[in-house]
Amino acid sequence: MQVKLRVKRFDRERDREPYWAEYEVEAEATDRVLDLLHSVKWYQDGTLSFRRSCGHGICGSDAMLINGRNRLACKVLIKELGKRISVEPLRGFPVVKDLVVDQQAFFRKFESVQPYLVAEEPPPARERRQSPEARERFDDTTKCILCAACTTSCPSFWSNPNYLGPAAIVNAHRFLFDDRDAGQEARLQVLNQSDGVWRCRTIFNCVEACPRGIDITRAIGEVKKALLLRRT
């Protein structure tokens, strides 16, 4: 079938404003949006810029607005979208070029919550053992692929780019509820700051956007509760 692909393009070294470019692309119903982008780049306009790596929903590098929703280009089939498809860069991040956005601030926030195991004891001879029940406590938030679809769909983030954002909170949750971790207090301090977890207004856009199906609002609620219990 013939698909009309509209891409919001912008080159900050050349353009004053973003503009829509249109491409006619021959595609199968079972092709993905990523295949359309490849087709344009390889056969029509080599200057089109976008990120991708794994091509299979694992690396998180090709989140973008597809027909108005944050999705992974490698996961969305053409037959779900029809013959007119529009693609834009994630909202709320500076655009570097076309669909490539500057994620430095996003990853700084991720790093600020210490997304790794903080251990007081030296490592044992083999492994830090954990019961299946204790592992289950944070299973959902281990699934994050850091695609930023949640944070860039959040109106609280759009209105305040300093908000830590759901992705960083999800990754804090991953370690806060790990019974082997000793870094809770430092993490909770970051989450309790004025641009921390309290900026979440339970809008749920993040849950809609997450390609991994993580119950983000629930995780955020659990972090808020941990902070409230800590105060008493």
Q: Which residues bind ligand FES (CB under 6 A)?
A: 52-55, 57-62, 72, 74
191 is a site residue for ligand SF4 (CB under 6 A)? no
The answer to whether 224 touches 160, Cβ cutoff 8 Å, is no
144 is a site residue for ligand SF4 (CB under 6 A)? yes
147 is a site residue for ligand SF4 (CB under 6 A)? yes
Q: Which does residue 201 bind out of ligand F3S, ligand SF4, ligand FES, none, counting CB within 5 to 8 angstroms by kind?
A: ligand F3S
Q: Which does residue 170 bind out of ligand SF4, ligand FES, ligand F3S, none, counting CB within 5 to 8 angstroms by kind?
A: ligand SF4
74 is a site residue for ligand SF4 (CB under 6 A)? no
Between 56 and 201, whose beta carbon lies closer to ligand F3S?
201
CA distance 168 to 149: 12
Q: Which does residue 52 bind out of ligand SF4, ligand FES, ligand F3S, none, counting CB within 5 to 8 angstroms by kind?
A: ligand FES
Query: Please, what is the minimum distance in Å from the beta carbon of residue 214 to ligand SF4?
Result: 5
CA distance 141 to 171: 7
Tokens representing residue 169 in the block: 């909170």
Q: Which does residue 61 bind out of ligand FES, ligand SF4, ligand F3S, none, counting CB within 5 to 8 angstroms by kind?
A: ligand FES
As beta bridge partners, residue 8 has 20
Q: Which does residue 203 bind out of ligand SF4, ligand FES, ligand F3S, none, counting CB within 5 to 8 angstroms by kind?
A: ligand F3S
- CB-CB neighbours of 153 under 10 Å: 25
Beta strands in the chain (DSSP E): 2-9, 19-26, 63-66, 69-72, 84-88, 95-97, 100-101
Which letter does DSSP use for residue 228 in this model? H
CA distance 54 to 181: 31
Between 31 and 62, whose beta carbon lies closer to ligand SF4?
62
| Residue 54 phi, psi (nearest 5) | -70, -35
CA distance 34 to 44: 15
Chain positions contacting ligand SF4, by CB under 6 A: 60, 144-150, 166-167, 170, 209-212, 214, 216
